[in-house]
């Protein structure tokens, strides 16, 4: 029993302040409004209003929910009681409820104070879906305990809950009078990341020209915990860099001192006298060179004798591997503490952070969607008119927000890219997200569909919630026709109908979400539900068609990096290849396959050749072979269909 009694959370005093938090100024302003009664209870007493009992913090892992709770207690200098929700759960019937009551009694006796329940969703599931009676009893007990806080004596206990999954909490707990307010803490944007980095690096020694804004631009999708891990990794990188330079300087000074001490004994040995006699006997320049060579030979022989006398008999490959950790270990054990001059030269640079980025994975990627893509406009050939339209629809609202706001253009338009497969629709979406520096969620239409009722709709809601948490963000629906077929074509009440309805609802909800952009791509816009294509949703349709001869030439230059990768022979003229009749129905993907097939043909020739050729060059004959193998994705019959589609849907 003594072991169980020790598990009652202790009342502590937090030392974290609001100044230790960065990038959540709007959240702090909202929180401060809910804390008035903790320091000025007379205000609510005068008005005769019950003060707020608590609020719920929700957001992705690592966004700072727990730290904010500590900061509230530290800033107001109030007692802080932290309870991990899982500590309440017990295997003995009735003990979990007793623990919960004791936690609240402890809080009431310490009032005014902050009671923080971390991971509250683990003990407060929806009672209708709870699998055990114990879970239902814990929820009921927590509701009862929070209702008991309405008395004047215990009114100064503020209950803060934290969760990553607010939708899984019992609705009775989320009503007014219990958790009065729900505060969302999303993934920080670029400005917020800059502020977080400034706070984290406040006590660090960084370089004088440290670029916080540039580093914030390199960390899309990172939350506060990720940035803290990045700072820690950068510090380790800086220490390793300093250790390596110290080790190299010590090795250099040691080797130079060895040279100074070891060369004179060799010089005064007997063989040198023979060399001197030989030099004095001969007088031409050739003998001087021989004498010098003889000196070097003697020195090398002496060094070789020293090496051969060494006790180590290991093979020559092993010592370097062993030295790797042996040298580090000897430096750790034997080296004296760094002097003040060495410590002064030690600081963290922006290059240390850039190296650390490779080792720290952002939460957004762990959550299952990509951050800013690595595709740029340089990776795309042709499609210049489409680019301009996309830049105006997505890039301009992000970069020139104030100008758009002044004209009342608050709602970002949705864009549907339609056209034959392989023409670069997905590539365009990635490039525009990269250029604008916003996060990018790629959703394949079929992957949201689920055989269980309600799961497909939940998946759609989750995608939009993630986008709101990661704003500014582009949601790209690939193969939209699979997700949003015409509702009249499918059976009433089918899963596809519910998914379309859910998607329409979420798109309408975006009117107030000014930093979430929607893009879709499809080969069949004619079978997409018309309600999805109306103004306010995907209101602009852009046709991405087959490239012309000039476009094919531009695409080939882009794919081959102007003939450098792969290296093209002087007999290859890309413009002639682009103008060939056999390439008239080639898409961008077909042209990429053509270059790849030509490169493979050159590689086969290289392997079968007995000549020692160092560089592999792709020649015209390789392209001729590739043209025989690669067939166009779109036939002449398909082209007629797409031309009709272009006439019907094209905006550009």
Instruction: Quote the pLDDT of residue 390.
Output: 85
**pLDDT greater than 80 at residue 329:** no
What's the per-residue H, E or C state across 323-389? Answer: HHHHHHHHHHHHCCCCCHHHHHCCCECHHHHHHHCCCCCCHHHHCCCCCCCCCCHHHCCCCHHHHHH
User: What stretches of 91-176 show up as alpha helix (H) in DSSP?
Assistant: 95-109, 133-147
pLDDT digits (tens, 9 = 90+) for 571-588: 999 999 999 988 989 999
Q: What is the pLDDT of residue 408?
A: 80
> How does residue 444 score in pLDDT terms, banded at 50, 70 and 90?
confident
Q: What is the pLDDT of residue 598?
A: 94
Looking up tokens 């802080």 gives 80
Reading across the β-sheet that carries 516-522, which strands appear in turn? 439-444, 473-478, 516-522, 415-418, 540-543
Q: Which pLDDT score, from 0 to 100, does residue 233 have?
A: 93
Looking at CATH, the fold of the domain delimited by 549-633 is given as Helicase, Ruva Protein; domain 3 (1.10.8)
Query: Is the model's pLDDT at 255 over the cut of 80?
Result: no
Q: pLDDT-derived band of residue 602, with 50, 70 and 90 as boundaries? A: very high
Q: How far is residue 87's CA from residue 558's CA, in Å, rounded to a whole number? A: 59
CB-CB contact of 84 with 119 (8 Å): yes
pLDDT level of residue 331 (50, 70, 90 thresholds)? low
This prediction's pTM: 0.67
Distance CA 169, CA 126 (A): 6
Whether 114 contacts 160, CB under 8 Å: yes
- Domains of the chain, by residue range, sit at 18-186, 188-251+340-364, 377-543, 549-633
Q: Is 583 helix (H, G, I), strand (E, B) or coil?
A: helix
Confidence of residue 133 (pLDDT cuts 50, 70, 90): confident
Asked if the domains at 18-186 and 188-251+340-364 fall in one CATH topology, the answer is no
- Supply the pLDDT for residue 191: 86
Residue 647's CB: how many other CB atoms inside 10 A? 9
Report pLDDT for 492.
54
Give the pLDDT band (50/70/90) at residue 231: very high
Q: Count Cβ atoms within 10 A of the Cβ of residue 155 and give its class: 0-12 exposed, 13-18 middle, 19 or more buried.
A: buried
Mean pLDDT of the chain: 79
Give the domain 377-543 fold.
Answer: Rossmann fold (3.40.50)
The matching CATH number, chosen from 3.40.50.920, 3.40.50.300, 3.30.110.30, 3.40.35.10, for 18-186 is 3.40.50.300
**Of the candidates 442, 244, 411, which has an alpha carbon nearest to the alpha carbon of residue 324?**
244
Query: Which residues does residue 568 pair with via DSSP β-bridges, in sequence order?
Result: 618
Mean pLDDT of 149-174: 81
What is the percent of the chain where pLDDT is above 70?
Answer: 80
Q: pLDDT at residue 214 above 50?
A: yes
Return the pLDDT at 414: 85
Using 50, 70 and 90 to split pLDDT, how confident is the model at 316? very low
pLDDT at position 226: 92
pLDDT, residue 8, reads 63
Check: CB of residue 470 under 8 Å from CB of residue 222.
Answer: no
Kindly indicate whether the domain formed by 188-251+340-364 is annotated with CATH number 1.10.8.60.
yes
Q: What is the pLDDT of residue 619?
A: 92
Q: Nearest 5°: phi and psi at 17? A: -120, 170
Rounded Cα gap, residues 584 and 548, in angstroms = 8
């Amino acid at each position: 029993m003594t072991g169980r009694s020790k598990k009652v959370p202790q009342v502590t005093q937090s030392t974290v302040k609001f100044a230790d938090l960065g990038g959540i100024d709007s959240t702090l302003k909202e929180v401060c409004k809910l804390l008035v009664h903790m320091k000025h209870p007379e205000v609510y007493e005068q008005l005769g209003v019950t003060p707020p009992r608590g609020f719920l913090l929700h957001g992705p892992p690592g966004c700072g929910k727990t730290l904010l709770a500590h900061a509230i207690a530290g800033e107001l200098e109030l007692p802080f009681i932290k309870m991990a929700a899982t500590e309440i759960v017990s295997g003995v019937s009735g003990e979990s409820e007793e623990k919960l009551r004791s936690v609240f009694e402890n809080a009431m006796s310490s009032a005014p104070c902050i009671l923080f329940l971390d991971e509250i969703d683990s003990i407060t599931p929806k009672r209708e879906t709870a699998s055990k009676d114990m879970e239902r009893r814990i929820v009921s007990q927590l509701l009862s305990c929070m209702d008991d806080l309405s008395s004047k004596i215990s009114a100064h206990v503020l209950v803060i809950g934290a969760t990553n999954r607010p939708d899984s909490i019992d609705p009775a707990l989320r009503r007014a009078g219990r958790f009065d307010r729900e505060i969302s803490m999303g993934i920080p944007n670029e400005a917020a990341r800059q502020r977080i980095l400034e706070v984290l690096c406040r006590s660090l020694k960084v370089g004088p020209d440290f670029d916080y804004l540039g580093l914030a631009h390199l960390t899309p999708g990172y939350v506060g915990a990720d940035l803290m891990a990045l700072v820690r990794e950068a510090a380790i990188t800086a220490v390793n860099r300093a250790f390596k330079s110290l080790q190299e300087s010590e090795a250099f000074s040691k080797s130079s001192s060895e040279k100074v001490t070891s060369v004179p004994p060799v010089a005064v040995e007997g063989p040198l006298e023979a060399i001197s006699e030989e030099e004095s006997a001969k007088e031409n320049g050739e003998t001087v060179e021989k004498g010098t060579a003889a000196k070097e030979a003697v020195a090398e022989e002496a060094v070789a004798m020293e090496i051969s006398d060494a006790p180590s008999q290991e093979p020559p490959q092993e010592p370097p591997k062993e030295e790797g950790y042996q040298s580090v270990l000897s430096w750790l054990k034997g080296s004296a503490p760094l002097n003040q001059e060495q410590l002064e030269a030690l600081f963290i640079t922006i290059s240390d952070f850039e190296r650390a980025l490779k080792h720290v994975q952002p939460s957004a990627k762990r959550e299952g969607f990509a951050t800013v893509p690595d595709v740029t406009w340089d990776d795309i050939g042709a499609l210049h008119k489409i680019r301009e339209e996309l830049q105006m629809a997505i890039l301009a609202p992000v970069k020139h927000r104030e100008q758009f706001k002044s004209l009342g253009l608050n709602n970002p338009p949705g864009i549907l890219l339609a056209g034959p497969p392989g023409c670069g629709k997905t590539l365009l979406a990635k490039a525009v997200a990269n250029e604008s520096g916003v996060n990018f969620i790629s959703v394949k239409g079929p992957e949201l569909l689920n055989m269980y009722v309600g799961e497909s709709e939940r998946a759609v809601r989750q995608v939009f919630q993630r986008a709101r948490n990661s704003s500014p963000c582009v949601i790209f629906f690939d193969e939209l026709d699979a997700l949003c077929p015409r509702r009249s074509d499918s059976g009433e009440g089918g899963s596809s109908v519910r998914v379309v309805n859910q998607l329409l609802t979420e798109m309408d909800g975006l009117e107030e979400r000014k930093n979430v952009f929607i893009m879709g791509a499809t080969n069949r816009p004619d079978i997409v539900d018309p309600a999805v294509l109306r103004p306010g949703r995907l209101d602009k349709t852009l046709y991405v068609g087959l490239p012309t001869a000039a476009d094919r030439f531009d695409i080939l230059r882009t794919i081959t990096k102007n003939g450098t990768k792969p290296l093209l022979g002087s007999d290859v003229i890309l413009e002639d290849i682009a103008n060939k009749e056999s390439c008239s129905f080639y898409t961008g993907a077909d042209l990429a396959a053509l270059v790849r097939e030509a490169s493979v043909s050159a590689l086969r020739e290289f392997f079968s050749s007995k000549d020692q050729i160092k560089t592999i060059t792709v020649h015209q004959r390789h392209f001729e072979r590739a043209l025989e193998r690669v067939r166009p994705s779109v036939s002449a019959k398909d082209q007629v269909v797409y031309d009709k589609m272009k006439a019907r849907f094209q905006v550009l």
